[in-house]
Structure 1
Amino acid sequence: MDMSFTDDELAFQNEVREFLRDELPSEMADKVAKGIELGKDDMERWHAILNARGWLAPNWPKSFGGAEWNAVQRHIFDTEAAAANAPRIVPFGLSMLGPVLQKFGSKEQQDHWLPRILDGSDWWCQGYSEPGAGSDLASLKTRAVRDGDHYVVNGQKTWTTLGQHANMIFCLVRTDPDAKQQEGISFLLIDMNTPGVEVRPIILLDGSDEVNEVWFTDVRVPVENLVGDENEGWTYAKYLLTHERANIAGVGFSQAGLAAVKRMARAENHNGRPLIENPHFAARVAQVDIDLRAMATSNLRIISKAAAGGAPGLEASMLKVKGSIIRQEINDLARRVAGPYAMPFASEALEGANDTIPDPLGAGPVAAQYFNNRKLSIFGGSNEIQRGIIAKVTMSGGRA
């Protein structure tokens, strides 16, 4: 995507490209390009490489060990990383919990937990959704009862992404069952190795266990692991969700995905001519390109607001809705270009274990990405709920 950069920004872009060329392991980039699932070791290795360079936490202030990049720098890095097939960093500690602790956590919590996020000592997962509390998150039932210097937690969380790798989970729990739904919730940090915590995999269509159930049975959590004030967790949860929703948009990944669609469409013929020249298909590609350029501009504004100390609110909902629509449209275009090459959905093909499957377009990841990204319009607050938020705030003159 074309942008007019200053000399300093062009120098930074070159620095990023050199770093990715020299430091991104080729076997890791190859896995990403082929849609092969990354293992925990892969994700931890890339985490450590970025941390060694000081680029792991671009949105964190330097006082907390972050890079404190401006909006354009973050845009440049995200775009170049996606184009180079760099892995996406696991966001739960860095992009979700980190900002919450920096704004609402105690000095002791900041000093203890933030360095451990950066150096990889802790792998965090998110304990928000429950079987009866997804988009209606305030209906959560997991209870935390104060018992001296501990809370005793009982309940269940679901759709816990990569929970099988985590040693820590940040949870929303109900601490006052008699209060109004949103007023009786607290934000707890729970050690996954505590007795009474059980992780059960949820097997997906492709046979993977990316998501899990997490059960709590009389789990004792120290009171000092409460973030902020008791029963004020909804405030912290909303703050975290704005960062999650902005992150879902994935502008850089959409740009890389659209570039792949154009590459495949130039190679695939339709009625004797490259598919990219088909008027109907070209019009769909052009519309996505226009929408993506507009979203990239909006994303820069939102990043700038966050860098200035604000929390993206309504804008994050707008970005989440539009970003998920664009990414799903790109996935659909890729599936249509790939045609029969997108049909195999055997785990052997997806994992690159069977080199005999013909793939002249390099379309191996298409099926996996298409199916997996159907979730984009649901998780992080479904698009229907986000549209309701947008309508409510707009009609109230900007008041949530």
Structure 2
Amino acid sequence: MDADEGRVGSEGLGDESFRRLVREWLSDNLTGDFAELKGLGGPGREHEAFAERLVWDRHLAASGWTCLGWPVEFGGRGLSVEHQVIYHEEYARANAPARVSHIGEELLGPTLIAFGTDAQRARFLPGINTVGELWCQGYSEPGAGSDLAAVTTSAELDGDEWVINGQKVWTSLAHLADWAFVIARTVRGSKRHAGLSYLLVPMKQDGITVRPITQLTGTSEFNEVFFDGARTDADLVVGEAGKGWSVAMGTLGFERGVSTLGQQVGFARELSGVVDVARRNGSIDDPVLRERLTRAWIGLRVMRSFALTTLGGSSSGGEDSISKLLWANWHRGLGELAMDVVGAPSLLAPGGELDEWQRLYLFTRADTIYGGSNEIQRNIISERILGLPREARL
């Protein structure tokens, strides 16, 4: 098939015309076997129909619905922020399956465009665009979670290769990824932000061991990853060796992009489901629960307003932290609210099988921890926005 065959064009379309195009394409394509994937996947549910969702992702790619915001010269669509927001909203409203290539497309791809070499872009961007290669993120460690600057995983040059030793943890989809971008300490004796490098590392090699972590939900999308003499080519360092902190922070900035608007549509669907349960079992007549449901709806509107206000603008880093606090605490609260709406039956799991509200409650306990804990986000806000003294380091 020709590379451009079947790709959907949207050049010159106004917002509403583009919205109709996206909505109609999803309606026409989420049929047959793909229709069975609706609503599957996502945080805490990445195990659901992964192989089938990978096929769906590649179908999206062949039709031109991946890498929408990437510049055209790097294989993207070059769409405006407004059109990207519309796409993610319509994708969520269609209940389309969760993407399996988010880490490569939304995190690494923009990082390579911003900081990578021409050779790195030529090597990796096409595989991300076509969903031919999957990626995972090697940041957190047992002693360096939210405090990323405390990483101890090391890498030393041995001829024309980096040799990597150490451990990463909470690595999403590492058991399925072809590659990882890894933060490692490449300057011996360095501390904190200095001496770190951003390396691209093949996962399928003898020097890497992946060990799944069983979560409260019973699933294992997170992993421990052990590097024991793992190797990668010397030229697969993004940015300057020893100065990878700014690259790593750039990736975190890309993580909180336009896809968050789609995330909020998913949140709205969950809230609607909780309201439906409240109506069916009569708990909506409880004035306390009814007020909490109302406050949850208001919280969604606040999140959307904040996201639209700050999206695409310059950021000191504090705005991203405010956004993380808003959605993480809201979503954790929704899990608690769902259990209270269901009532006593929420405490039972016949046959050991969790229902959707129990899974929501258990997984959202982690929302205020992963991606930067509440404590870290508040420190960032206090230091970068409010100008308060920096937290003392021991």
TM-score by length of 2: 0.87
Structure ranking higher on relative contact order (CA contacts 8 Å, 6+ apart): 1
Comparing 69-78 and 117-126, the one that deviates more: 69-78
Structure 1 residue ranges without an equivalent (≥5):
1-6, 351-363
Structure 1 residues 322 and 60: CA distance shift in structure 2, 3 A: same
Q: How far, CA to CA, are the matches of 1:258 and 1:56 in structure 2?
A: 28
1:54 match? 64
Equivalent in 20, 28, 38 of residue 14 of structure 1: 20
2:210 aligned with 1:199: yes
2:126 match? 115
Answer yes or no: is the 8 Å Cα contact 2:209–2:225 preserved in 1. yes
Q: How far, CA to CA, are the matches of 2:209 and 2:131 in structure 1?
A: 22
Deviation at 1:245, TM superposition (A): 4.3
2:10 match? none
Deviation at 1:60, TM superposition (A): 1.9
Q: How far, CA to CA, are the matches of 1:16 and 1:340 in structure 2?
A: 42
Structure 2 residue ranges without an equivalent (≥5):
1-12
Equivalent in 347, 357, 376 of residue 367 of structure 2: 376
Equivalent in 260, 277, 301 of residue 309 of structure 2: 301
2:290 match? 282
Equivalent in 272, 276, 281 of residue 263 of structure 1: 276
2:3 match? none
1:27 match? 36
Deviation at 1:69, TM superposition (A): 3.1
> Aligned with 1:153: secondary structure?
strand
Q: Which has the higher helix share?
A: 1
Equivalent in 159, 163, 170 of residue 159 of structure 1: 170
2:4 match? none
Q: How far, CA to CA, are the matches of 1:344 and 1:248 in structure 2?
A: 33
1:386 match? 377
Identity of aligned residues (%): 35
Answer yes or no: is the 8 Å Cα contact 1:206–1:345 preserved in 2. no
Answer yes or no: is the 8 Å Cα contact 1:40–1:165 preserved in 2. no
For residues 249-291 of structure 1, give each alpha carbon's deviation from its aligned partner in whole angstroms, at most 9, with x where no partner exists. Answer: 8322212222222222222214xxxx1x433222212222222
Comparing 330-339 and 92-101, the one that deviates more: 330-339
1:209 match? 220
Q: How far, CA to CA, are the matches of 1:193 and 1:124 in structure 2?
A: 12
For residues 356-399 of structure 1, give each alpha carbon's deviation from its aligned partner in whole angstroms, at most 9, with x where no partner exists. Answer: xxxxxxxx3111121112111111111110111011012339x9
1:175 match? 186
Answer yes or no: is the 8 Å Cα contact 1:131–1:158 preserved in 2. yes
Deviation at 1:326, TM superposition (A): 1.4
> Aligned with 1:178: secondary structure?
coil
Q: How far, CA to CA, are the matches of 1:84 and 1:348 in structure 2?
A: 31
2:113 match? 102
Equivalent in 301, 323, 334 of residue 330 of structure 1: 334
Q: How far, CA to CA, are the matches of 1:331 and 1:241 in structure 2?
A: 25
Deviation at 1:105, TM superposition (A): 0.1
> Aligned with 1:182: secondary structure?
coil
Deviation at 1:292, TM superposition (A): 1.4
Answer yes or no: is the 8 Å Cα contact 1:345–1:368 preserved in 2. no
Deviation at 1:341, TM superposition (A): 4.6
1:228 match? 239
Answer yes or no: is the 8 Å Cα contact 2:40–2:48 preserved in 1. yes
Q: How far, CA to CA, are the matches of 1:312 and 1:21 in structure 2?
A: 39
Structure 1 residues 101 and 73: CA distance shift in structure 2, 3 A: same
Answer yes or no: is the 8 Å Cα contact 1:152–1:218 preserved in 2. yes
Equivalent in 76, 94, 101 of residue 84 of structure 1: 94
- Length, aligned pairs only: 370
Equivalent in 141, 144, 147 of residue 152 of structure 2: 141
